[in-house]
Chain A
Amino acid sequence: MAAPGTASLLRAAAASSRRWLLAASRGAAGRPSGDCVAARTPGRFFGVSARARLSSEDKVTVHFINRDGDKLTAEGKVGDSLLDVVVDKNLDIDGFGACEGTLACSTCHLIFEDHIFEKLDAITDEEMDMLDLAYGLTETSRLGCQICLKKFMNNMTVRVPEAVADARQSIDMSKNS
């Protein structure tokens, strides 16, 4: 088995620098990670808040079904947005969160289970305006940057929708086979 390649080191470095870039740009856009209320009103400046001490009650596990069918499981804290989870845990979802949570794209489009979807906070016009442009829109679609983790979401499964019309088998030559 070959030694861990530079690719994986690069990804780790990229992930941490991306987190830094995201935190920096959110500082500019006015939204600290973990403060989900601010996420719904992009542009208001709160400054970066210290994260509260964690207890297990704060943890929420989410399963993401990726476009290629892979299940990615990650843990976040109550109040994190689903975009926060994807970025913080460096989940391998192509192109997710292009506008970094500012309601200027629809790349964080996720499909929810019916029983979870019903309990989500009401959608705003601003979110719906962008969601309307998403590919593969369903009855239970929302934008991940606007959905904050709550306890009832523990162990929920969300699906990453197809991005293009023809779902060809995705080619990944980034790992040793």
Chain B
Amino acid sequence: MGSSCGRVCWKWGSPLRRLPGFSRLLSTAALAPQICVVGSGPAGFYTAQHLLKHHRLARVDIYEKLPVPFGLVRFGVAPDHPEVKNVINTFTQTAHSDRCAYYGNVTIGKDVMVKELQRAYHAVVLSYGAEDNRILGIPGENLSGVYSARAFVGWYNGLPENRDLKPDLSSETAVVLGQGNVALDVARVLLSPLDILRKTDITEGSLAAIACSKVKRVWLVGRRGPLQVAFTIKELREMINLPGTRPLLDPADFTGLGDVIKDIPRPRKRLTELMIKSAREKPGEKEAALWASATKEWGLKFQRSPLEVLPATDGKQARGIRMAVTRLEGSGESARAVPTGEVEELECGLILSSIGYRSLPLDSSIPFDPKLGIIPNSLGRVQGAPGLYCSGWVKRGPTGVIITTMNDSFDTAQSVLEDLQTGVLNLSNSKEGFKSVRSILHSRGVHPVTFSDWEKIDAAEVARGKLAGKPREKIVDPQEMLQLISH
């Protein structure tokens, strides 16, 4: 590597100093790549981690628009899935590296522009995820009682922008449009026994609202069939075993599937077998007793595509949903739902659309594909924008679990490392990194939140949670967070 060669050559004496660029080699500081990452969720942290691990000199600064880090690990993973949040430990370790710094409360695209970051850093990695959701595009979508699952999840997880959602939980039946893991999460949070929820890090405010909820029944509605469900088996099993609830699965939906799945890959096969079993087999004694005493229920409805949210007589409130009955053309992942002409109505006062998250363009200077909702890239290198990279959902689309994002982030980091090695990223242009960003932020009155500031907020949340028998009580007001650290 450059620096070791520099030190060795220097010992050999002055003639070598005449080599062009040689004196630069003596200064290791000039060779330290300055890299910044936009977004502090799993994509941002895993990209930073891989860079720091595989380059002994690189400095990585992670920017985040909220005061607090960790993105969807904090705001997306369900409160009753704390093990999934264990990754926070490895991210914390990364943040503690002396070549890594976290700067929260800095909105890229507003407080500082991407072009300014590119002047300050050798490489900029965009890992800002998907802050929006796909819309249904049907009449009645904006009636009271209709929410995106994304906003509902943000609400119970303490995402500041969703803290005033005040979802209407006064009707008995809720319909979730979509059959992915997020759909199961919201159904489970709506139906879980309070005794379970109150020991999690669900926010105090949402717990109180759920305690007054009248929701007894949740339907997860999908346009296609059982073979196209997007949720995974662990989450389905959890739902089937949810205390106080019984599953409503129509055996007719699963006719003939046993044969179809004989030769398909094991993951899809086991998932389908579990649904078939729950729908068709007589429950065991224990299960039968649990289901008989259940006060809440949930079910799957297939081949129903939403057409219109129906208003109540006041014209403002949702009272039901009209759906087209579909049939499938093709099979497997690529099966398409085609309307048959038949329609059906389902009475409900709460509708959660869980049809996918969606990324937004950060800054007009960055290439963005609005149709796919991603930044056009090749192996994480943003197309037509040298020095710009992307990782996570903004790179591949908003699907997958943490391991998918982890692998994807390592892949982007590899591209950065390759470009450092081959000189595509030219280290002879020395960059100031945070030094120049700090003065930009200062001139705009923006005060970054450091990682040790976050640790103060973290400690306060944990202390408050302890009083309530919870792992933490999340602070949902960013102003309160900033006051706590005296900003």
Contacts and interface: CB of A to CB of B under 8 A. Distances in A.
Interface string B474-487: 00000000000000
Contacts of B134: none
B81 interface: yes
Instruction: For chain A, give the interface size range.
Output: 35 or more
A95 B83 contact: no
B97 A14 contact: yes
B267 interface: yes
Contacts of A125: 237
Most buried by B among A5, A18, A95: A95
B411 A164 contact: yes
Interface string B72-109: 00000000010110110110110011110000000000
A133 B410 contact: no
Nearest to A7: B56
Contact of B87 (A98, A126, A174): A98
Nearest to A177: B1
Contacts of A107: 403, 406
Nearest to A26: B86
Contact of A132 (B99, B267, B411): B267
A22 B421 CA distance: 34
B237 A129 contact: yes
Contact of A104 (B8, B84, B410): B84
A118 interface: no
A176 interface: yes
A94 B90 contact: no
Nearest to B410: A94
B18 interface: no
A50 interface: no
A167 to B, nearest CB: 10
Nearest to A163: B407
Given A105-B402, A107-B403, A132-B270, A175 B56 contact: yes
A103 B414 contact: no
Interface string B45-82: 01000100111110000000000000000000000010
Closest 3 interchain pairs by CB? A102-B83, A132-B267, A171-B417
Contacts of B232: 129, 132-133
B266 interface: yes
Contacts of B403: 95, 98, 105-107, 133-135
A124 to B, nearest CB: 12
B201 to A, nearest CB: 13
B425 interface: no
A1 B267 CA distance: 51
Interface in B126-173: none
A100 interface: yes
A106 B87 CA distance: 13
Contacts of A170: 54, 414
A17 B93 contact: yes
A175 B55 CA distance: 8
Interface of A: 1-2, 5-7, 10-11, 14, 17-18, 21-22, 25, 29, 42, 94-95, 98-100, 102-107, 125-126, 128-130, 132-135, 137, 163-164, 166, 168, 170-177
A104 B54 contact: no
Nearest to A11: B53
B83 A164 contact: no
B193 to A, nearest CB: 17
B408 interface: yes
Contacts of A177: 1, 4
Interface string B33-50: 000000000000010001
A94 B90 CA distance: 12
Interface string B1-44: 10110011000000000000000000000000000000000000
Given A125-B237, A129-B233, A173-B421, A168 B414 contact: yes
Given A5-B56, A133-B401, A163 B3 contact: no
A151 B129 CA distance: 46
Contacts of A11: 53
A164 B413 CA distance: 13
Given A18-B89, A105-B401, 9 more contacts: A10-B98, A21-B92, A29-B83, A128-B270, A129-B237, A129-B270, A132-B270, A164-B408, A174-B54
B290 interface: no
Contact of A171 (B8, B46, B54, B57): B54
Nearest to A130: B234
22 contacts: A2-B7, A6-B56, A7-B56, A10-B97, A17-B93, A94-B50, A94-B53, A95-B407, A98-B87, A104-B86, A105-B402, A126-B234, A129-B232, A129-B237, A129-B270, A132-B267, A133-B403, A170-B414, A173-B54, A173-B55, A173-B420, A173-B421
A105 B89 CA distance: 15
Contact of B406 (A95, A168, A176): A95
Nearest to A172: B54
B344 interface: no
B86 A100 contact: yes
